[in-house]
Amino acid sequence: MQTSKKFRRMNRLTQKAVADMLGIKRSYISHIETGVVRLPLKYVDTLQSIPGLDCSALVDVKEDGLTSELTSLRAENEYLRSRIESLQEDKDKYWELIQKLMK
């Protein structure tokens, strides 16, 4: 069972009730539960901040989301580093060309 649906059932909530808590449409909750979209971390945080809710089913969602974000950030960081190196090489080449042209 999808973790978001498990969370909802553990807390005996309807899709509408969860949607109202999050300020979103019920159809979006349906999309989350059927796997069309992932449960955003901001909604996990919102649900965890509501007293009386058992959010244990959402722990994996948060960990998976954080892991995905970290992986994405690492890949972006590596790309940016390689891009900086490439720009530095370009700068050096253009500087050499300018110096030759000025002679």
CATH number, domain at 28?
1.10.260.40
Domain count, the chain: 1
* Residue ranges making up the domain that contains 61: 3-102
| Secondary structure (H, E, C), the chain | CCHHHHHHHHCCCCHHHHHHHHCCCHHHHHHHHCCCCCCCHHHHHHHHCCCCCCCHHHHHHHHHHHHHHHHHHHHHHHHHHHHHHHHHHHHHHHHHHHHHHHC
| pTM for this predicted structure | 0.58
What digits encode the pLDDT tens for the residues 21-73? 999 999 999 999 988 888 888 898 899 999 999 988 887 766 666 666 666 67
Specify whether the CB–CB gap between 33 and 6 falls below 8 A.
no
